[in-house]
Amino acid sequence: MELIRAEALSVGAGRRPVAEGIGFALAPGGILAVLGPNGAGKTTLFRTLLGLLAPHGGAVHLGGQPLGGLSRARIARHLAYVPQAMDVPFPYTVADYVLAGRSARLGPFAAPGRRDAARAAAALEELGIASLARHPVTRLSGGERQLAMIARALAQDAPALILDEPASALDFGNRERLAELLSGLAARGYGLVFSSHDPAFAVRLADRILAIGRDGRAAAGPARDMTTDARLGALYGLSAGAVRRARGG
């Protein structure tokens, strides 16, 4: 079964689309990386896939169902979102923050119960941050915050995860741990979509890559084919030679 399918999708927050011709399919265990220069519309694409923005054209299907017909709770049970940065006005404990992931599975007037707390605790355990459960999220390091956000997404029990620039705030060590974590999740059957500024990071993890150029045109293909020197040069406005030098080749 396909977790996410996008066909001839064009996305944009304003009147005009910022990116067009987006097409891909994500199956369980698959990893799709989205590459593109700043402002190419990566976050806009994610917001569209989550149903937060209406598409300008084309179609999105989640688990075979058209996105437009799904309730917010149904979408959340299918697709979990890991935002680029954590932005909370109050010092929630890590446990309470992760518990918020259970919301789509609660009745309208219910608060999370013991089972939800257990699921949240299991998610913390899975990511190795159980010891941080009672810490305020406002005092976590960048890497710990990223893990807390991913734990919240796992607590959502959705088969697909969308991660917006998950590596951008991380140091070398945390990046490596994140890479291991993400490929572990995919190996367990989660479907992952993430955006990255770093083609090398993307190509290491992803089996497929969606590239959105500065002109807003999107192309998808196997990771190796999409990250040749010439392709990357065209994507970021560099010569193939400059890309080769940047890659140390």
- Return residues touching other proteins (CB under 8 A): 47, 50-52, 71-73, 75-77, 79-81, 83, 87-93, 95-96, 100-101, 103-106, 108-112, 133-136, 138, 156
Which of helix, strand or coil describes residue 141? coil
Identity of the residue, 8 or 110, whose beta carbon is nearer to other proteins in the bound complex: 110
Smallest distance from the beta carbon of 139 to other proteins, in angstroms?
Answer: 8
CA–CA distance, 123 with 116 (Å, rounded to integer) = 11
Residue 147 C-beta: closest distance to other proteins, Å: 17
Of the candidates 211, 205, 216, which has an alpha carbon nearest to the alpha carbon of residue 232? 211
Question: How many other CB atoms are there within 10 angstroms of residue 172's CB atom?
Answer: 7
| 34: DSSP letter | E
* Distance in angstroms (rounded) separating the CA atoms of residues 249 and 235: 19
Gap between the Cα atoms of 80 and 93, Å rounded: 20
Tell me how far, at minimum, the Cβ of 50 lies from other proteins, in Å.
5
Q: Which of residues 54 and 200 has its CB atom nearest to other proteins in the complex?
A: 54
CB-wise, 155 or 235, nearer to other proteins? 155
Parallel, antiparallel or unpaired: strands 218-222 and 208-212: antiparallel
- Note whether 46 and 4 are within 8 A (CB): no
Quick one: residue 216, left, alpha or beta (phi over 0 = left, psi -120 to 50 = alpha)? left
Count Cβ atoms within 10 A of the Cβ of residue 89 and give its class: 0-12 exposed, 13-18 middle, 19 or more buried. Answer: exposed
- Give the nearer residue to other proteins in terms of CB position, either 92 or 201: 92
Query: Rounded to an integer, what distance in angstroms lies between the CA atom of residue 114 and that of residue 96?
Result: 13
Least separation in angstroms between residue 157's CB and other proteins is 11
Beta carbon nearer to other proteins, 52 or 200: 52
- Which of 56/78 has CB closer to other proteins? 78
